[in-house]
Each structure stands twice: as C-alpha cells, then as structure tokens.
Amino acid sequence: MKAMTSFFIAAIMTLASAAAHAELIVTDTTYRDYDKSFGYVSFNVTSHGTINDVNVAVEFSKCDNPYIDPEGSRCIGQGTPFENEIVMRLIGPDGRVVNLIEEDTFDQGDTAGIGRITMTFTDEGQALGKRVQAGAFRPLGQLSMFDGMDMFGEWRLYVEDTFGSDPLEVFSSSLIFNSVEPPPADVPEPGSLAVFGAGMFALGALRRRQRRAI
C-alpha cells in the first residue's frame, strides 16, 4: 500500500513538473556585417514544446565608417550613424513574420553611434524610441503571434542595412523561449490519476473493514 501511495504522489509531481514553464535559449555567435545588404541568422530548434512567450536579443552596432570589427565596442567614425537604415524581422518555422525594426523606425542620429549594444525585443518591453539604445523594447509587431506554436523547427532572423557606407554589424543573437513541454506518454492523464486515487481510497477502506472483522 505504501509503495502504491508513493507511486501516486510521484505521478502527480511528474505531471506538475511537465506543466511548469521551461526556458530554452538558442544563440548564434557568428559575426556578420551588412552595408547596403541583407542576410539571415538561422536557429535550428530541435526540442518540442508549446510556446508561451518568445523574445529576441540582438547584440549589434550601427556606426559611421569604419567597421569596429568583432573585437571592437565603440564607434570609430564620428559621423552620422544613419540608424534609420536598420531592418530586423523574426520568421517562424511556419513562415509567420514579426517585424522587429523597420526602415525609419529610428532617426538618422546626429552624433557618433552608441557602439556595441544588446537590444532585447519583448512584448513586455518599453516602447521603441527614436535612437538605438540598449535595453528591452516592444517590437513593431507582436511576438505573441508565435504563442501556442510548437517551437521545433528552423527560425530565421532577417537583418538588413538599406544604404551603404555606415555598416550594421551583428555580433550575436538569441531566441529565448518560454515553453510548456508535452507530458511524457507513460504518465497517466489527470482523469486516470483521479480514478486511480479513488481506487486506492476504496482499497484502503476495505482493508480497514477487514481488520475490524478479525
């Protein structure tokens, strides 16, 4: 009886754990540069799980020439950084597209660029300003478009610099998933556990009656 009770408790705990939020972060650290060009950063997500929330973090710089290169942190050129040339979009495995930044989201900038920063796009962030800055910001679109999807598959981050002479350099980028993993197939469903629990209760009552009769 004690062993059966332990199994019942363990099964409930397993179900609760399966329903708990789990975070998965997929990161690409390949240095990329764009100057009147575009490209994609691909993220191959091999785990399954229902998305509750997905955020995007991009470490980049937008400076007047010259490039600051992978080891740099501050803008070298002191001219206009033309931050209005930045475009970023997140594309899901099923082709859904969420605009993070579009052309002219930011002003051109009238001083040297801010240098190497990390901008995190989250629906819970603050509104985007007119200048590039580090922090957590709401994208132009809504990342909640991906809620309820299975996170499995190839995700792509589209990055573009629309005009030449002021490079957009990307140092790393990450997808941050909050997901609920599907319950393991061999764990009883909640309804089955309820029936199992009722059966245990009845078995215990029967044994108590048998002891009284002896």
Task: Determine the Cα angle at 75 with ends 66 and 125, to 5°.
Answer: 125
pTM: 0.77
98 φ, ψ to 5°?
-120, 120
Alpha-carbon separation of residue 197 from 1, 3, 124, 204, 209 (angstroms): 12, 13, 41, 11, 19
157 φ, ψ to 5°?
-105, 115
**120-142 pLDDT, tens digit each:** 999 999 999 999 999 999 999 99
Tally Cβ neighbours within 10 Å of residue 164.
12
Measured in whole angstroms, the distance separating CA 190 from the mean position of its chain's CA atoms is 29
Quote the strand ranges of the chain, DSSP E.
Answer: 21-28, 32-34, 37-45, 50-62, 86-91, 97-101, 117-126, 135-137, 153-161, 168-180
Mean pLDDT value across residues 42-51: 96
- Which CATH number is 21-182 given? 2.60.120.260
More confident residue, 134 or 165: 134
If DSSP codes are grouped into helix, strand and coil, which group holds residue 136?
Answer: strand
pLDDT reading at 202 higher than 90: no
pLDDT reading at 145 higher than 90: yes
**Radius of gyration for the alpha carbons in the chain, expressed in angstroms and rounded:** 26
